[in-house]
Amino acid sequence: MPTAGALIIGNEILNGKVEEANLNLLARELFDLGIELRRVVVCPDDVTGIAADIRRLRGRFDYLITSGGVGPTHDDVTLRAVAEAFQRPLIRSPELVAKIREMVGEGCTEGHLRMADVPEGAELVSTPDVPWPSVVMENVYVLPGVPRIFRMKLPMLRARLAAGRRFYCRAVYTSCRETDIAELLDRVVDAHDDVDIGSYPVMDGDYRVKLTVDSRSRSAADLALAALVEALPAGAVVRIDGGVRASRAAETR
């Protein structure tokens, strides 16, 4: 099963000045790709610290996606940290210099050109809808922190990582309190170790607890859902829904 880590970079996230807005999008995208997001780290704008996190996370998971710290200002240090993590120098990419000069024209400054500095050996990945390339260094994907631009980069990520298997997702909405069904949930979880069962209470709405079943096997998901429904008290089921999250390969039976 492919795995991923996420590294969210920025002092503004840690001090609360800016609300993090990319993680949920990334988690959903990876789930749809059949990639399990296993670890999320938030770190400040510190080159040495970022580089250490990159080395640790990229070695532990199949993919590492970073968000933030990409730009022309003093606190945009992510690419310097990537270079340090890989023990590579930063070089000025002629391709990016040409793009910058084309975009900025005669007003191009050294500050603009710093945007063309990338780790030696990095791959520049472009898509038709986003002319500015993304930097990829082996299994590290460097994405911007600005939510609108981050969202625009997701098709690139989807195209590069589309190798996972589908998840089958089912849900049953109940009128029970979570405390009333905790023991029966434990029994179903113990009996179905090939599925991931979640329990999510709400404060209002037409149900009290949403129970979810996720699996790479359709039959396993269906069996676990049936076991949940059978174990719930009579009349406790409000509704059932679910299906297949995005498919990238043949299903597991």
Residue 70's pLDDT is 94
% pLDDT > 90, the chain? 75
Residue 165's pLDDT is 64
% pLDDT > 70, the chain? 94
Mean pLDDT in residue range 137-141? 97
Query: Above 60 in pLDDT, residue 232?
Result: yes
- Tokens at 68, concatenated: 């933030």
Q: How far apart are CA 156 and CA 162, in angstroms?
A: 10
Residue 148's pLDDT is 95
- Tokens at 238, concatenated: 């409000």
Computed from CA positions of residues 179, 180, 181, 184, in that sequence, does the dihedral angle turn out positive or negative?
Answer: positive
Residue 10's pLDDT is 97
Instruction: Place 163 in a pLDDT band, splitting at 50, 70 and 90.
Output: low
CB 64 within 8 A of CB 140: yes
Exposed e or buried b for every residue in 136-159, given b needs 16+ CB within 10 A? bbebbbbbbbeeeebbbbbebbbe
Measured CA distances, 13 to 17, 19, 73 (Å): 6, 6, 17
- Give the closest residue to 40 by CA, choosing from 76, 77, 80, 9: 9
Mean pLDDT in residue range 240-246? 62
Give pTM, 2 decimals: 0.80
Residue 154's pLDDT is 94
With vertex at residue 220, the alpha carbon angle to CA 217 and CA 224, rounded to the nearest 5 degrees, is 140
Identify the helix (H) or strand (E) that includes residue 64.
Answer: strand 63-67
Query: Above 90 in pLDDT, residue 188?
Result: yes
Instruction: Place 249 in a pLDDT band, splitting at 50, 70 and 90.
Output: very low
Residue 252's pLDDT is 36
Residue 205's pLDDT is 84
Half-sphere exposure (Cβ direction) of 223: Cα atoms closer than 13 Å: 13
Query: Above 80 in pLDDT, residue 242?
Result: no
> Tens of pLDDT along 51-108?
999 999 999 999 999 999 998 888 899 999 999 999 999 999 999 999 999 988 988 9
Mean pLDDT in residue range 3-21? 97
Q: How far apart are CA 112 and CA 106, in angstroms?
A: 11
Query: Above 60 in pLDDT, residue 228?
Result: yes
Query: Above 90 in pLDDT, residue 124?
Result: yes
- Mean residue pLDDT across the chain: 91
Query: Above 90 in pLDDT, residue 18?
Result: yes
Structural domains of the chain ordered from first start? 3-161 (3.40.980.10), 168-241 (3.30.70.1130)
Residue 131's pLDDT is 79
Residue 244's pLDDT is 45
Residue 73's pLDDT is 87
